Amino acid sequence: MGNTQATVKHLNHSHGSTECSTCASIHDLANTAAQPQQDRTWWFNTHLMTILGSVALLALAIFADLSPELTLGLYLASYLLVGGEILYKAVRNIFKGNVFDEHFLMSIATIGAFIIGEYLEGVAVMLFFQIGEYFQSLAVNRSKRSITALLNIRPDYAHLQTEIGLQTVSPEQVKIGDLLIVKPGERVPLDGVVIEGSSTLDTSALTGESIPRPVQNGDQVYSGSINNTGLLTVQVTKTYQESTATKIIELVQSAASKKAPTENLITKFAKYYTPAVVFMALALAFLPPLFTDASLSEWGYRALVFLIISCPCALVVSIPLSFFGGIGAASRHGILIKGSNYLEAFNDLGTVAFDKTGTLTHGRFSVSQAAAEGMSDEKLLEYAAYAECYSNHPIAQSIRAAYQQPIDQSIISDYQEIAGHGIVATVRDEQVIVGNRKIMEQHGIKVPNISALGSVVYAAVNGRYAGYIIVADQIKPDSAAAVAELKQLGIKNLVMLSGDTQEHAGAVAEKLSIDQVYAELLPQDKVEIVEDFLLGGKKVAFIGDGINDAPVLARSDIGIAMGGLGSDAAIEAADVVFMTDEVGKIGTAIRLAKYTRKIVWQNIILALGIKALFLLLGAFGIASLWEAIFADVGVTLIAVINASRVLRAKA
């Protein structure tokens, strides 16, 4: 799994016949991503030591008072140490039919520098090239390794009911129609239908919703859910390979391979630029001597100067560095972006889809309203808190938290919790009933029809209706501002994808002015909806926080996880992580992406403009080797300094 994600997901930009140095670095790094951490550390340490070793040899050649032969040997050693890999790749790609790539241009330009005696230039070009590659590799290494937390929802065993009794078997051995026993605290091993028993299921791993779902005879249950209270007998309806938990894991693996590609500007440019300058240099070297009395050595020298000027070092180094700077600036704002392609993709967003619970809302339930009848609201809350005294249900916990007083359990008797309905208990010799409409109807108590944003808990004392309490998941304070800011930034298609009911999800969406709402969704449903949006051509971002969101996070062009409270699986599956759990950070990310793109285009125009000027000067013999060095190394340094401005960007 880790290899699939590291290799596929982070190599998602299209290529022509050439392979850029950045991509080569990413390919090499992706191959190490599936290896143990010590192997990846070794890769980076080796690369860094190669650069430092080359610098040391170069410094010795420049400053040491040595013989010309020994000095040349040091230059060659420094050159081969830092550029040997580039030379090898140039030769390898020639045999593969990919002649005109960056490795080839770098090789002939630097070899040319040695031919005309400019050893320092030859080594320096390779050195800058490798430093830029190292920075890009560091950025890519932040990408995810594997979604190990997803393995936690995979069931390890199943209690199979057989003629000879209960047998514990592997879920793979269970067939459709078999009967399984699911005990309290265990995961449901396979999808099925309850044929005996009642309970509440924790489905948060599947739907992301914190409130347990009541189940009884005839209800559908999904693998990966946790049985909270009662003993269930489940008839299997799907095999292990088709079960929900298995599908979620498969979706994450396959979704990574479907990621839309991000075009790599350097690669596309090099596809045309490299062969053009090589043929121009050849023409410059041989055509004038053929048709005039000019010497081959003079025009050969001009051709080599031309090649040195044309070396795209400024672009190769500054463009990845600009994106790396954007990633660094984002991290200072609590935004972890796992690759430059995801930062770039923020510029082309057309759709932003939100999960509800834990993303737009806190994911923690609290009492938002208590409306008593025939008593004070405080008294109603007291009765409910005492009745819910022994329950571990999140609603019960929120009611006790709202009561804020110690509970004397000695005055509670005849306590009975009815799964999926509510609680009946005696408090100070008074019968108290709290729960949903069903339990009230069972006891012949009429209750009003309450429509509210949240779960309605009715209460009755001594057979008479006493009022209701609304327990709701509160909307985060920055959610409305985040939605409004996205609209101001030109993103019109804002969508909510939720596992909650249509009523609750719709109410939250209406309050936040989100127009499109899809509710009661399983993970595969979210993936299908996002895939439909992907057909529109524009980039699609999804923001979620739960393990259930991992497949759709992987499938989206930009998967964004809420890092502070989000699940490990969501964080590892995501391309971007908001470490402060503020959904409003998406506006910050978009602004940083736009600023980064601005810097990138400044560097592109600067590098190409100056190089075009000096290429003309070099072709006519006006520019000497010193101008060539400026056009290459000097422009590179200017571009790098400009790229560093991104690091100080303010959102």
Amino acid symbol at 206: L
Out of 262-276, 316-330, 567-581, which region has the weakest mean confidence (pLDDT)? Answer: 262-276
Higher per-residue pLDDT: 246 or 529 = 529
Write out the two tokens for 449.
Answer: 């029809």
Mean pLDDT of 579-596: 88
Provide mean pLDDT across the span 1-16. 32
Does residue 532 have a pLDDT over 70? Answer: yes
- What is the percentage of the chain residues whose pLDDT exceeds 70? 78
SS3 assignment, position 220: strand
Asked whether the predicted pLDDT for residue 176 surpasses 80, the reply is: yes
Q: Give the residue ranges of DSSP H helices in 234-359.
A: 244-257, 265-291, 296-310, 313-332, 340-345
Helix, strand, coil: what percent of the chain each, to 5? 55, 20, 25
More confident residue, 238 or 316: 238
- pLDDT score for 474: 81
Q: pTM of the predicted model, to two decimals?
A: 0.60
Say if residues 210 and 243 touch (Cβ distance below 8 Å).
no
pLDDT score of 74: 94
**How many angstroms from the chain centroid is the CA of residue 580?**
15
Q: Kindly report the number of other CB atoms within 10 A of residue 8's CB atom.
A: 17
| Domain definitions of the chain by residue range | 2-145+258-342+590-648, 156-189+191-238, 343-361+476-588, 363-474
> pLDDT tens for residues 74-106?
999 999 999 998 899 889 988 888 777 667 777
Tell me the residue type at 145: R
Residues 6+ positions from 626 with CB-CB distance below 8 Å = none
- What CA dihedral angle connects 213, 218, 223 and 225, to 10 degrees? 20
- State how far the Cα of 230 lies from the Cα of 216, in Å rounded to an integer: 10
pLDDT of 541 reads 94
* Cross-strand pairs, 459: 434, 467
Q: Give the range among 396-405, 447-456, 562-571 with minimum mean pLDDT.
A: 562-571
Give yes or no for residue 135 having a pLDDT over 50.
Answer: yes
CATH 3.90.226.30 for domain 363-474: no
**Of residues 355, 500, 581, 632, which has the active-site annotation?**
355
pLDDT, position 431? 94
| Cβ 533 vs Cβ 495: under 8 Å | yes
Local confidence band at 71 (pLDDT 50, 70, 90 cut-offs): very high
Helix (H, G, I), strand (E, B) or coil at 418: strand
Q: Which of 535, 536, 593, 532 is nearest to 560 (CA)?
A: 593
d(CA 429, CA 40): 68
Residue that has been written with the tokens 């392979």 in this structure: 19
pLDDT at 343: 86
Residue 158 to residue 163: CA distance in whole angstroms = 16
What integer pLDDT is reported at residue 385 of this predicted model? 94
Domain 156-189+191-238 shares a fold with domain 363-474: no
Query: CATH top-level class for 343-361+476-588?
Result: alpha beta
Displacement of CA 108 from its chain's centroid (Å): 40
The question of whether 355 is a catalytic residue gets the answer yes
Highest mean pLDDT of the ranges 26-35, 234-243, 602-611: 234-243
Cα 194 to Cα 213: distance, rounded to the nearest angstrom: 13
Give the count of alpha carbons within 13 A of 157, CB side only: 10
For the cut 50, the answer to whether the pLDDT of residue 36 exceeds it is no
* pLDDT reported for residue 148: 43
Strands (E), 137-239: 158-162, 165-169, 179-182, 192-196, 199-202, 213-215, 220-221, 226-227, 232-236
Owner of token pair 């420094």: 78
**CA angle, 334 as apex, 333 and 335 as ends, to 5°?**
95
pLDDT classification of 24: cutoffs 50, 70, 90? very low
Hey, what CATH class is 156-189+191-238 in?
Answer: mainly beta
**Torsion sign across C-alpha atoms 399, 405, 406, 410:** negative
Q: Model confidence over 464-497: pLDDT tens digits?
A: 999 999 988 788 889 999 999 999 999 989 999 9
- Mean of pLDDT values over 491-507: 86
Confidence of residue 146 (pLDDT cuts 50, 70, 90): very low
Is the model's pLDDT at 317 over the cut of 90?
A: no
Mean pLDDT of 40-59: 83
Q: Residue 633: its pLDDT value, please? A: 64
pLDDT given for residue 140 in this prediction = 46
Of 100-104, 459-463, 569-573, the range with the lowest mean pLDDT is: 569-573
**Which stretch of 107-121, 135-149, 574-588 has the lowest confidence by average pLDDT?**
135-149
- Higher pLDDT: 296 or 84? It is 84
Give me the chain's average pLDDT, please.
79
